[in-house]
């Protein structure tokens, strides 16, 4: 992007009032040209809509006006917009040629032109117009007294057609309002797919009228009613978002089998009789809702006709709730343990010439394709469904990587080469608390894979999965945002938009603005810290959270058994997020100091170190009335100890041996306290 900017601005810098670098657009549009002058916002601002849009544009424009007046405090005259051409002379003119259809491959492009007196937004459909309104909101600038839009011309369209977020509502149930505000966040980031993970070992979350046992026995009372689901589908449609539901089978089956143990694969052998005559038999195993995290053995029995009978009935009830063309059937992490132990299943394999459990699972999955096709739906599944005989109509969801013992994203390449359409999730696992940069630079289009144009076209896009083993309704927004905004840019913007520093700068504003949608990714932190502090001043905790990050990957909940699905997620670790605020700042200060040991640069580094020494004392003071602070003290002390000695070294007041200092800094790399790690460890190491 740097190069484009340089070229474009050569002729503009002298006259433009708002250089493009000042704009905090995200995802960055395909083409932006800033012109001289501004459109100043006043209470006379009105919007007019023409053309043949879908009525969803009316709600979209009404919400746009409410967000604009919320930000500016300007009392607009226009209230609710419900008709075409209501205000022919309005300053903002929106025209859409046709009604947008929710789904893939729709034309989502828009053209936005801002001049001093008029704004025009032209789009093929309302879907593009909704994107254009989000861009217009992001264009808002201000001086000390007024708000304005810089005169400009933007032409924009997405790079990928699948720009998704998945929310796991099974592990921790996420109420309707959580889903709604996140749909608003997706729309603001021009994302268009919401993948709703509705069934897993930890619960079945869909009201079933014909099979009520699923919610009675396998939901703990936490599920979406069918009306709520329809309501969410409508809410998503109004925001241009496709919903892809998921029922995960044949593995991850604890919840389904809690209600219907008769279609489970587990065998229980009964032994009885007398010493003379040994009687053996089998019985149906019982299952329970899973409370831990991990991969479990409960698996549907693919040899049992009842399994298909039930699944067919379930799809018949669930499919009509979702008008979209895709249905995700999971298919992941089936280790086949219960299949191997079940003689009936082994016999079935032999009879049907299925050599491996993979082939058996393919057999299973192939049965589901017509069940879904009946409802006009295409089957999608996690990459494990991609086996030799799998239908090419299936969409392959690429997710595994080194953690699963395979090459990251290899399945994506394999899929398109074999003729499958595919979506990338590997590298976008936002639940794992990795830094934003790792997600941002993860491109769905594999570099150096030598794909044909046809193969490339099969890469539909990407999707960020938000698994919820460790996320509650209180914390989930902070796990999704703002990092998903960076993923949105990867999926929408041009391939060469990869300047991380520039992205970070824009993201700060974008993240703040997401708050107006009701997202709680910023405000939730104070709620948790007040709880941890036991209603004392939270300043020290806030400060400590700026250098602490939750343990990454799968290390916070080792073995998946430390946290049950009802364990508290109101702890200090839950108030922390990846990319802790002081990490980058401190690292920058260290770099500058190492490059030039000036007094100023030294003072910059020392300021952090001194802050952390004080912080340790403040946390000790806080802990006298707050038991939840206790677990932080060892880590705060380690940071303080290292800071003290480094400070002495910087001041040439120290006689400490390098090995001792190293050991002190190494102590800052311990990951055994309060489920967090110190994000400044690597920078501290540089100072030794």
459 binds its own copies (CB under 8 A): no
Between 288 and 370, CB nearer to its own copies? 288
Quote the least distance from Cβ 331 to its own copies, whole Å: 28
40 binds its own copies (CB under 8 A): no
Quote the least distance from Cβ 532 to its own copies, whole Å: 8
559 binds its own copies (CB under 8 A): no
CA gap 485, 514 in Å, rounded: 10
Stretch that binds its own copies, among 67-75, 279-287, 301-309, 606-614 (CB under 8 A): 67-75
Between 412 and 533, CB nearer to its own copies? 533
Q: Measure Cα distances from 416 to 180, 450, 538, 553 in Å.
A: 33, 11, 51, 28
- Among positions 323-382, residues that touch its own copies (CB under 8 A) are none
Phi, psi dihedral angles at 672 (to 5 degrees):
-115, 5
Quote the least distance from Cβ 225 to its own copies, whole Å: 6
Between 569 and 665, CB nearer to its own copies? 569
Q: Of the candidates 202, 280, 124, which has an alpha carbon nearest to the alpha carbon of residue 471?
A: 202
Q: How many CB atoms lie within 10 A of CB 336?
A: 19
- State the catalytic residues: 333
Interface characters, 158-187, with its own copies (x: CB under 8 A): -----------------xxx----------
- Backbone angle region of 252, left / alpha / beta, with phi > 0 → left and psi within -120 to 50 → alpha: left
3-state secondary structure of 332: coil
Which residue do the tokens 């889903």 mark?
A: 179
Do the bridges between strand 278-284 and strand 267-273 make them parallel or antiparallel, or are there none, so unpaired?
antiparallel
Which residue do the tokens 């489970």 mark?
A: 264
CA gap 86, 41 in Å, rounded: 20
3-state secondary structure of 657: coil
568 binds its own copies (CB under 8 A): yes
Q: What would the two tokens of residue 2 be?
A: 């740097």
Question: Which residues partner with 247 through β-bridges?
Answer: 199
Cα angle at 554 between 202 and 627, to 5 degrees?
Answer: 85
- Among positions 528-547, residues that touch its own copies (CB under 8 A) are 530-531, 534-535
From the list 59, 103, 261, 634, which residue makes contact with its own copies (rule: CB under 8 A)?
A: 59
Stretch that binds its own copies, among 153-161, 164-172, 332-340, 562-570 (CB under 8 A): 562-570
Cβ neighbors of 31 (< 8 A, separation 6 or more) are 153, 154, 155, 156
402 binds its own copies (CB under 8 A): no
How many residues sit in the footprint of its own copies (CB under 8 A)? 62
79 binds its own copies (CB under 8 A): yes
3-state secondary structure of 193: strand
Phi, psi dihedral angles at 663 (to 5 degrees):
-65, -40
CA gap 192, 241 in Å, rounded: 4
From the list 523, 596, 607, 669, which residue makes contact with its own copies (rule: CB under 8 A)?
A: 523
Between 110 and 481, CB nearer to its own copies? 481
From the list 13, 15, 70, 653, which residue makes contact with its own copies (rule: CB under 8 A)?
A: 70
- Among positions 614-653, residues that touch its own copies (CB under 8 A) are 623-628, 630
From the list 7, 11, 14, 221, which residue makes contact with its own copies (rule: CB under 8 A)?
A: 221
Q: Of the candidates 396, 504, 403, 494, which has an alpha carbon nearest to the alpha carbon of residue 445?
A: 494
Quote the least distance from Cβ 619 to its own copies, whole Å: 12
Q: What would the two tokens of residue 341 be?
A: 């132990």
From the list 17, 31, 72, 438, which residue makes contact with its own copies (rule: CB under 8 A)?
A: 72
Quote the least distance from Cβ 398 to its own copies, whole Å: 35
Q: What would the two tokens of residue 141 be?
A: 């600038």
Which residue do the tokens 């939750």 mark?
A: 550
3-state secondary structure of 683: helix
566 binds its own copies (CB under 8 A): yes
From the list 52, 262, 404, 512, which residue makes contact with its own copies (rule: CB under 8 A)?
A: 512
Between 112 and 218, CB nearer to its own copies? 218
From the list 522, 584, 613, 656, which residue makes contact with its own copies (rule: CB under 8 A)?
A: 522
- Enter the DSSP assignment of 123: E
For residue 161, the number of C-alpha atoms closer than 13 Å in the C-beta half-sphere is 13
Stretch that binds its own copies, among 83-91, 352-360, 547-555, 565-573 (CB under 8 A): 565-573
Quote the least distance from Cβ 530 to its own copies, whole Å: 6
Q: Of the candidates 412, 504, 394, 425, which has an alpha carbon nearest to the alpha carbon of residue 451?
A: 412
Between 370 and 568, CB nearer to its own copies? 568
Helix or strand (DSSP H, E) at 245: strand 242-249
Helix or strand (DSSP H, E) at 47: strand 47-51
- Among positions 223-242, residues that touch its own copies (CB under 8 A) are 225, 227-228, 231
Q: Of the candidates 37, 32, 52, 132, which has an alpha carbon nearest to the alpha carbon of residue 92?
A: 132
Q: What is the DSSP string of 447-460?
A: TT----HHHHHTEE
Cα angle at 230 between 521 and 135, to 5 degrees?
Answer: 45
274 binds its own copies (CB under 8 A): no
Q: Of the candidates 80, 97, 5, 91, which has an alpha carbon nearest to the alpha carbon of residue 46?
A: 91
3-state secondary structure of 646: helix
From the list 71, 344, 373, 417, which residue makes contact with its own copies (rule: CB under 8 A)?
A: 71
Interface characters, 131-160, with its own copies (x: CB under 8 A): -----------xxxxxx-------------
Between 229 and 430, CB nearer to its own copies? 229
Interface characters, 417-456, with its own copies (x: CB under 8 A): ----------------------------------------
Quote the least distance from Cβ 252 to its own copies, whole Å: 19
- Among positions 277-316, residues that touch its own copies (CB under 8 A) are 291
526 binds its own copies (CB under 8 A): yes
Stretch that binds its own copies, among 66-74, 94-102, 303-311, 335-343 (CB under 8 A): 66-74
Binding site for its own copies (CB under 8 A): 59, 65-66, 69-75, 79-80, 142-147, 175-177, 220-221, 225, 227-228, 231, 291, 473-474, 508-509, 512, 515-516, 518, 520, 522-524, 526-527, 530-531, 534-535, 562-568, 570-571, 623-628, 630
């Amino acid at each position: 992007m740097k190069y484009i900017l340089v070229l474009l601005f050569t002729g503009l810098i002298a006259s433009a009032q708002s250089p493009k670098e000042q704009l905090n657009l995200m995802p960055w549009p395909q083409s932006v040209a800033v012109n001289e002058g501004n459109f100043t916002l006043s209470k006379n601002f009105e919007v007019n809509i023409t053309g043949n849009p879908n009525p969803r544009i009316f709600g979209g424009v009404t919400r746009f006006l409410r967000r604009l007046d919320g930000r500016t405090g300007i009392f607009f005259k226009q209230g609710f917009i419900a008709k075409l051409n209501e205000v022919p002379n309005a300053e903002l003119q929106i025209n859409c040629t046709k009604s947008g259809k929710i789904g893939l491959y729709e034309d989502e492009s828009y053209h936005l032109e801002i001049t001093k007196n008029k704004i025009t937004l032209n789009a093929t459909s309302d879907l593009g117009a909704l994107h254009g309104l989000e861009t217009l909101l992001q264009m808002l600038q201000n001086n000390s007294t007024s708000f304005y839009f810089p005169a400009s011309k933007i032409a924009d369209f997405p790079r990928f057609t699948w720009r998704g977020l998945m929310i796991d509502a099974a592990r921790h149930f996420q109420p309707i309002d959580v889903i709604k505000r996140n749909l608003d966040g997706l729309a603001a980031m021009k994302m268009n797919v919401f993948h709703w993970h509705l069934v897993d070992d930890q619960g079945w979350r869909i009201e079933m009228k014909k099979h009520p046992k699923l919610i009675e026995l396998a939901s703990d009372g936490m599920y979406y009613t069918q009306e709520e689901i329809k309501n969410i589908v409508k809410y998503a449609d109004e925001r241009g978002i496709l919903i892809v539901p998921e029922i995960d089978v044949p593995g991850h089956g604890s919840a389904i089998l809690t209600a219907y143990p008769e279609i489970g694969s587990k065998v229980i052998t009964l032994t009885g009789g007398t010493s003379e005559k040994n009687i053996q038999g089998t019985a149906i195993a019982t299952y329970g809702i899973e409370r831990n995290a991990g991969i479990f053995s409960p698996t549907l029995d693919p040899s049992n006709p009842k399994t298909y009978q039930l699944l067919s009935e379930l799809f018949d009830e669930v499919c009509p709730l979702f008008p979209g063309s895709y249905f995700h059937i999971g298919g992941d992490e089936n280790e086949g343990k219960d299949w191997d132990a079940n003689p009936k299943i082994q016999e079935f394999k032999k009879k049907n010439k299925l050599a491996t459990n993979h082939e058996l699972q393919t057999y299973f999955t192939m049965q589901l394709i017509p069940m879904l096709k009946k409802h006009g739906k295409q089957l999608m599944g996690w990459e494990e469904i991609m086996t030799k005989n799998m239908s090419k109509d299936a969409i392959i969801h690429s997710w595994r990587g080194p953690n699963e013992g395979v090459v990251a994203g290899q399945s994506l390449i394999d899929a398109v080469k074999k003729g499958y359409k595919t979506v990338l999730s590997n590298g976008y696992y936002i639940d794992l608390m990795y830094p934003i940069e790792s997600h941002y630079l993860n491109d769905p289009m594999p570099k150096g894979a030598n794909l044909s144009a046809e193969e490339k076209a099969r890469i539909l896009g990407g999707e960020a999965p938000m698994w919820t083993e460790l996320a509650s309704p209180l914390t989930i927004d902070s796990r999704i945002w703002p990092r998903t905004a960076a993923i949105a840019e990867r999926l929408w913007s041009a391939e060469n938009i990869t300047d991380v520093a520039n992205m970070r700068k824009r993201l700060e504003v974008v993240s703040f603005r997401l708050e107006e949608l009701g997202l709680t990714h910023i405000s939730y932190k104070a709620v948790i810290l007040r709880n941890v502090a036991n209603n004392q001043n939270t300043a020290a905790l806030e400060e400590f959270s700026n250098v602490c990050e939750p343990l990454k990957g799968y290390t916070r909940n080792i073995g998946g058994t430390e946290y049950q699905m009802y364990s508290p997620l109101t702890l200090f670790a839950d108030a922390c997020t990846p990319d802790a605020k002081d990490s980058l700042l401190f690292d920058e200060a260290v770099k500058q100091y190492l490059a030039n040991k000036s007094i100023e640069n030294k003072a910059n580094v020392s300021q952090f170190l001194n802050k952390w020494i004080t912080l340790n004392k403040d946390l000790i003071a806080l802990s006298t009335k707050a038991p939840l602070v206790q677990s932080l003290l060892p880590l705060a002390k380690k940071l303080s100890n290292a800071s003290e000695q480094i400070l002495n070294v910087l001041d040439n007041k120290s006689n400490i041996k390098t090995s001792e200092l190293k050991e002190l800094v190494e102590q800052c790399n311990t990951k055994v306290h309060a489920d967090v790690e110190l994000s400044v460890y690597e920078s501290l190491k540089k100072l030794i």
